[in-house]
Amino acid sequence: MKCIQTPILGLCLIEPKVYSDARGFFYESYNQKVFSEFGITANFVQDNVSRSTKGVLRGLHYQLAPFAQAKLVSVSMGAVFDVVVDIRKGSPTFGKWFGVELSEENKRMLYVPEGFAHGFQVISEVAEFRYKVTNFYTPSADRGILWNDAAIGIEWRDVGIEPILSDKDRNAKPLAEAEINFIFQQP
């Protein structure tokens, strides 16, 4: 397993070592010892799974501190374009985004620390998205940022149809108006 550093400090793209043969494949999707060697000491408390069809766009979501969640995200079926936005006040990359394709083929995972808004767009016919989180879902702390905020400028994929959004995501606030309580701390 290896951790590929991204242009945004704290984000780690993880590529597992996959063992394949005629029977199929095997890989470790999480190993506490290996992750701690990457500097990831998160204590995951909940696993979530969602299944969505092509064009569904979920996000950009986060929970306010002290209910913030770090996430380890991956795809077990299909493919998504996964996006995170740095919302840590004082960060040199505040308001910047990073996107990567996660799929059942590439088996990549993305570690998203606290202080990031997260979302994904389904680019295959169907996708099953998995994420481990470090804090329980807390409705009163649940927040979102508008998926197409021009100030952020995310370059979502063209999948041939308009994004399919929840009312919550369609009506989210732009970053400039969003409630944020994350402060960047130099590692």
118 is catalytic: no
Give the C-alpha separation, 88 to 173, whole Å: 17
Among residues 19, 27, 61, 137, the one annotated as catalytic is 61
The Cα angle at residue 131 between residues 81 and 115, in degrees rounded to 5: 80
Give the C-alpha separation, 81 to 99, whole Å: 7
Give the C-alpha separation, 75 to 103, whole Å: 5
Among residues 62, 111, 118, 131, the one annotated as catalytic is 131
Q: Cα–chain-centroid distance for residue 120?
A: 7
DSSP alpha helix (H) spans, the chain: 32-37, 167-170
61 is catalytic: yes
Q: Is 21 helix (H, G, I), strand (E, B) or coil?
A: strand
Active site residues: 61, 131
